[in-house]
């Protein structure tokens, strides 16, 4: 029977469904050696943590890496393609969860919800009320979306229709306009936005894209929200801006090093809302991501093309390799139904 590796828990109903098609192998810790051995033993891997590229050449029966999420930075796509290993992801299903989280952070920053909560627990009251006139409403403000994928599109709709905000965005295709969103270059977006939300993939082009020079273009009354990936933003430069009052605040769900180190300066700043990379995780989104990932895993185990195949250009070679694995199997080795 084939082996399916779960690198972290998935929806239990979907796990039970997958167990009808494969023996489930679950990781119990974060030991890299345990992960390497598990990948080597698997036919398919449902990915919720980073898989090092050098693990793949040591996994001769591995057919697919199935990302339980949208971002592909956890998967060495080029190496998987070179070895004819299928790569899938789950596009768009957690976009609403991330968009709602980003909006919640924006509200928390604008209305000082976290500051008020901590202050009351610490015995404050009058000083918090005196500071209330310093807060702002979202209506009439401008939100700038760095990237315009599924998450940004959903957030744009909520911000414009639900809160009466002006929406800017930047994307590779350049400046253009639509009824709901005005597309501008990054510099203009940073200068004009009250809230800048980073919602683009991490690539070599976007790594470090928001650095000291870009942060300097933002108004001191503006806020930065990152629900994408930590390395897109220069954390040292951002911390300096927040500490010096050159930015009003930030909401951060992702970091260059995760978990966030105990001595990180973000922990000492009162104008930062911190969450542990949970923007895309809700009961609803986890079920939807698990359902899509498991459906593709079952397709792979049946020798069929998965719906959300990322490296589609390699499909003929991938299928040929799968057929070779099936033909060379014996009664005790994992097999694929042709």
- Return phi, psi of residue 157, to 5°: -65, -45
pLDDT of the residue at 8? 92
Alpha-carbon distances of 70 from 82, 95, 223, 286, 292, rounded to whole Å: 21, 9, 25, 12, 11
**Distance, CA of 148 to CA of 86 (rounded, Å):** 27
pLDDT of the residue at 173? 59
pLDDT tens across 36-62, in order?
A: 999 999 999 999 999 999 999 999 999
**Distance, CA of 261 to CA of 208 (rounded, Å):** 19
* Burial classification of residue 163, based on how many CB atoms lie within 10 Å of its CB (0-12 exposed, 13-18 middle, 19 or more buried): middle
pLDDT of the residue at 172? 67
Hunting for tokens 């209506």 — which residue is that?
A: 139
Candidates 281, 286, 220; CA nearest to 254 is 281
- Please, are residues 323 and 124 in contact by the beta-carbon 8 Å criterion? no
Strands of the chain (E only): list them.
3-6, 23-26, 44-47, 64-67, 86-88, 142-146, 166-170, 182-183, 195-198, 223-226, 249-252, 272-274
> Mean pLDDT, consecutive 10-residue segments, the chain of 338 residues?
95 96 92 96 96 97 96 94 97 94 98 96 97 96 96 96 96 64 96 98 94 98 98 98 98 97 96 97 95 98 97 97 83 33
Structure-block tokens of residue 25: 């192998």
pLDDT of the residue at 232? 98
pLDDT of the residue at 171? 75
Structure-block tokens of residue 187: 């510099």
pLDDT tens across 275-317, in order?
A: 999 999 999 999 999 999 999 999 999 999 999 999 999 999 9
- Please, are residues 27 and 6 in contact by the beta-carbon 8 Å criterion? yes
Domains defined for the chain, CATH in brackets = 3-93+283-327 (3.40.50.720), 95-274 (3.40.50.720)
Candidates 150, 90, 135; CA nearest to 290 is 90
**Distance, CA of 110 to CA of 295 (rounded, Å):** 41
Cis peptide before 259 (omega within 30 of 0): yes
- 3-state SS assignment for residue 185: coil
- Return phi, psi of residue 70, to 5°: -100, -40
Max intra-chain CA distance, the chain: 76
pLDDT of the residue at 253? 98
- CA triple 28-226-220, angle to 5 deg: 145
């Amino acid at each position: 029977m084939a082996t399916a590796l779960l690198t972290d828990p998935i929806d239990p109903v979907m796990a039970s469904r997958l167990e009808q098609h494969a023996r489930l192998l679950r990781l119990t810790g974060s030991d890299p050696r345990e992960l390497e051995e598990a990948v080597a033993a698997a036919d398919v891997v449902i990915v919720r943590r980073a898989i090092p590229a050098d693990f793949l050449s040591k996994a001769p029966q591995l057919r697919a890496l199935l990302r339980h999420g949208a971002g592909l930075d956890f998967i060495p796509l080029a190496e998987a393609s070179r070895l004819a290993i299928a790569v899938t992801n789950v596009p768009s299903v957690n976009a609403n969860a991330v968009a709602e989280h980003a909006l919640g952070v924006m509200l928390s920053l604008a209305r000082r919800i976290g500051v008020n909560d901590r202050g009351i627990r610490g015995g404050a009251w009058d000083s918090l009320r005196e500071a209330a006139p310093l807060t702002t409403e979202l209506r009439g403000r401008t939100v700038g979306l760095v990237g315009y994928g599924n998450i940004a599109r959903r957030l744009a709709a909520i911000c414009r229709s639900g809160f009466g905000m002006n929406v800017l965005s930047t994307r590779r295709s350049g400046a253009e306009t639509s009824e709901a969103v005005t597309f501008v270059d990054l510099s203009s977006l940073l200068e004009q936005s009250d809230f800048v939300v980073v919602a683009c993939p991490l690539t070599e082009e976007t790594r470090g894209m928001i650095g000291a020079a870009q942060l300097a273009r933002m108004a001191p009354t503006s806020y930065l929200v990152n629900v994408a990936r930590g390395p897109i933003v220069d954390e040292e430069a951002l911390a300096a801006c927040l500490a010096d009052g050159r930015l009003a605040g930030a909401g951060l769900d992702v970091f260059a090093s995760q978990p966030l180190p105990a001595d990180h300066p973000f922990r000492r700043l009162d104008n930062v809302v911190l969450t542990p990379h949970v923007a895309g995780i809700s009961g609803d989104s986890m079920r939807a991501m698990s359902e899509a990932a498991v459906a593709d895993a079952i397709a792979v185990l049946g020798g069929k093309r998965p719906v959300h195949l990322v490296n589609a250009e390699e499909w003929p070679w991938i299928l040929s390799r799968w057929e070779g694995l099936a033909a060379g199997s014996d009664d005790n080795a994992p097999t694929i139904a042709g």
